[in-house]
Copies of this chain bind each other. A is one copy, B any other.
Amino acid sequence: MKKLINDPNAAVDEMIEGYAAAYASFVKVLPQNKRAVVRSAPGTPGKVGIMIGGGSGHEPAFMGLIGRGFADGVPVGNVFASPPPAPILEITRAVDQGAGVLYMYGNYAGDCMNFDMAAELAAMEDIRVETVLITDDVASAPAGQVDRRRGIAGGFLVFKAAGAAADKGCDLDEVVRLARKTNDSLRTMGVALSPCFVPQTGQPSFVLSDDEMEIGLGIHGEPGVERGKLSTANEVADSLLDRILQDLPLGSEDRVAVMVNGLGSTAYMELFLVYRRVAKRLAELGVHIHRSFVGEYMTSLEMGGCSVSVLKLDDELAELIDAPADTPMYAQHEARQKAGD
């Protein structure tokens, strides 16, 4: 696998250096920890601190989402590996403005362990920390075991909602409530067509035949629910959406946000074909799509494939999803980008 890298062991550190240099007006690296990236602007007193994170290799998540309306800080792990407690704790200290800090990350054992440890250490310094786990991946556990589900691309929407809530001055309890409600109203299902290659090993994350795809494969190569022959964009979109709708029934009174996320090497053309089918299916059900997100929001290096996320909205969630945001890798102006309203 060809990669534009230098020393594979230095790739993450060098990526952070490049990112922080490119977007210095948004972000800075804390001098005490080169894996601790925070907003360069001074914090707003009394604002809840928003921290998101996890392993690297998912760019533009998570580091790309530091800025107004999104995150205040991101601890950066190695590729597909949780950050250790040290950068998490350093950022927690840096972003706490007296109103406490919210941690949001995908439900993976390593992340849970490290973020929990940092939260305990922060508590000893009288910094209040709350945690909302992202569990949007319907493929990873049955409906009765939602707390075993992992977090994938839909997490972007939870971060967006919580970031907007913190930005408008909600207190920590309220931000937690809104983040949980967003996560609970959200489902994602993905399909993989081709693997990614972790820089340090150069090995493929999984192996599929030339005519195979895997439905429900996780963003680190975790096994999916079904391996099958590659089919058309319409058929793939149908099988992703069917599985989401089993879990999140929708009807003609419902309003949603829809995300079609590319995993890294899938062309935008294909993402728009998948979106087209999802939109058509939802229209047939009478579901109103309030806002759409089509592009690369959470990748797995150069993995091939995509995921579909559906977030059921009410007025308060719609307001948060519509709120302005301004980060290096995602910006949104006020109330201009809604589809069909």
A residues neighboring B (CB under 8 Å)? 2-6, 11-12, 14-19, 21-26, 56-57, 59-60, 64, 68, 191, 193-194, 196, 199, 210-211, 213, 230, 232-234, 236, 258, 264-277, 279, 289, 292, 294-296, 299, 301-302, 304-306, 324, 326, 328-329, 331-333, 336-341
Cα–Cα distance between A301 and B271 once the two chains are bound (Å):
11
Contact B295 A60 (CB under 8 A): yes
Residue ID in chain B nearest A208 by CB atoms: B2
Name the residue among A12, A324, A340 with the largest chain B CB count within 10 angstroms.
Answer: A340
Cα–Cα distance between A194 and B276 once the two chains are bound (Å):
28
A5-B233, A59-B267, A301-B267 as given contacts; A273 in contact with B14, CB under 8 Å: yes
By a CB distance below 8 angstroms, the chain B residues around A265 are: 264-265, 302, 304
Contact A21 B270 (CB under 8 A): no
Name the residue among A11, A17, A211, A267 with the largest chain B CB count within 10 angstroms.
Answer: A267
Cα–Cα distance between A265 and B14 once the two chains are bound (Å):
20
Least CB distance from A23 to B in Å reads: 6
Contact B60 A4 (CB under 8 A): no
Name the residue among A4, A21, A60, A305 with the largest chain B CB count within 10 angstroms.
Answer: A4
10 A-B Cβ contacts within 8 A? A3-B270, A4-B191, A4-B236, A5-B273, A14-B272, A15-B276, A21-B289, A25-B338, A64-B268, A265-B302
Contact B274 A25 (CB under 8 A): no
Contact B304 A269 (CB under 8 A): no
Residue ID in chain B nearest A293 by CB atoms: B22
Least CB distance from A192 to B in Å reads: 10
Cα–Cα distance between A304 and B22 once the two chains are bound (Å):
22
Residue ID in chain B nearest A268 by CB atoms: B59
Contact A2 B269 (CB under 8 A): no
Contact A193 B292 (CB under 8 A): no
Contact A336 B341 (CB under 8 A): no
A4-B270, A331-B333 as given contacts; A25 in contact with B232, CB under 8 Å: no
Contact A276 B17 (CB under 8 A): yes
Contact A272 B234 (CB under 8 A): no
Contact B15 A273 (CB under 8 A): yes
Contact A25 B339 (CB under 8 A): yes
Contact A6 B233 (CB under 8 A): yes
By a CB distance below 8 angstroms, the chain B residues around A274 are: 4, 18
Among B2, B18, B272, point to the contact of A19 (Cβ < 8 A). B272
